[in-house]
Homo-oligomer: A and B are copies of this chain.
Amino acid sequence: MEQQFTKADWVKWDRFYRANFLNSLSGFKSVSLIGTISENGIPNLAIFSNIVHLGADPALIGFVNRPLAAAPDTIRNIQQTGCYTINHIHEAIYQQAHQTSAKYPEDTDEFLATGLTAQYRAGIKAPFVQESRVQYCLSLKEIIPIQLNNTFFVIGAVEQVFVDDSFIASDGFIDLHKAGSLTSCGLDAYYSAQPLERLAYAKP
């Protein structure tokens, strides 16, 4: 039966119940691993699910970084080096990917902690996830502080993309179902995606 929930309800809820409910609400997410390296050369790997396409020309992608107290390493490394990688997650690595969300001490190398493989490519400082089948790297363009809740909207320009050509359709579309990329919901739920249809460009 349909229920109505209002702000007056969720401010009274237990914080875990509230977080589960409100994190699910925005829908399925672009869950990926962000790889960075500090100026001292310590790699970092962290799972992010709030990643959005901002535009294709120029090619810009944004993601939400939580407040510094909760998630300091990724954003600090990006500020230090200007460079980061985003790596899709598939069925064989989602458990290790989720494990990167654990509260490790600052400057832990989550590649070592989770068993995922850091892959360095010529001319790119930040590490990729070797196991990932869709990898791209970005240069930092802008960090917008969100005053409302101390999060940050981090915007990067896509610089390079590494993907198997068998996933790319004749019109440029990357078939993420073929790549086995997953989607997530809320804080901890992982899903595979089953194609329904690609629709034609809509006309009035």
Chain A residues in contact with chain B, CB under 8 A? Answer: 1-7, 10-11, 13, 15-32, 49-62, 64, 86, 88, 91, 94-95, 98-105, 108, 113, 134, 136, 141-142, 144, 146-149, 151, 153, 155, 157-166, 168-169, 171-177, 181-183, 185-204
Pairwise interchain contact A23-B195, C-beta atoms closer than 8 A: no
Pairwise interchain contact B181-A28, C-beta atoms closer than 8 A: yes
Closest B residue, CB atoms, query A186: B173
| Contact sample, A vs B, 13 pairs, CB 8 Å cutoff | A3-B168, A16-B171, A23-B53, A27-B134, A50-B54, A54-B151, A58-B149, A60-B148, A101-B202, A103-B204, A173-B186, A190-B198, A194-B194
In Å, the complex CA distance between A61 and B77 comes to: 26
Q: A61 to chain B: closest CB distance in Å?
A: 5
Pairwise interchain contact A200-B188, C-beta atoms closer than 8 A: yes
Pairwise interchain contact A158-B54, C-beta atoms closer than 8 A: no
Closest B residue, CB atoms, query A157: B7
Residues of the B chain whose Cβ atoms lie less than 8 Å from the Cβ of A86: 26
Known: A4-B160, A51-B26. A19 touches B183 (CB 8 A): no
Q: Which of B51, B104, B187, B195 contacts A27 (CB 8 A)?
A: B51
Pairwise interchain contact B201-A188, C-beta atoms closer than 8 A: yes
Q: Of A20, A163, A189, which is in contact with the most chain B CB atoms at under 10 Å from its CB?
A: A189
Pairwise interchain contact A53-B56, C-beta atoms closer than 8 A: no
Besides the known contacts A6-B161, A102-B202, A187-B201, 17 further A-B residue pairs in the complex with CB atoms under 8 A apart: A1-B166, A7-B160, A15-B56, A19-B56, A20-B171, A21-B161, A22-B53, A27-B29, A27-B176, A28-B176, A58-B149, A94-B196, A99-B202, A102-B203, A141-B148, A173-B189, A185-B193
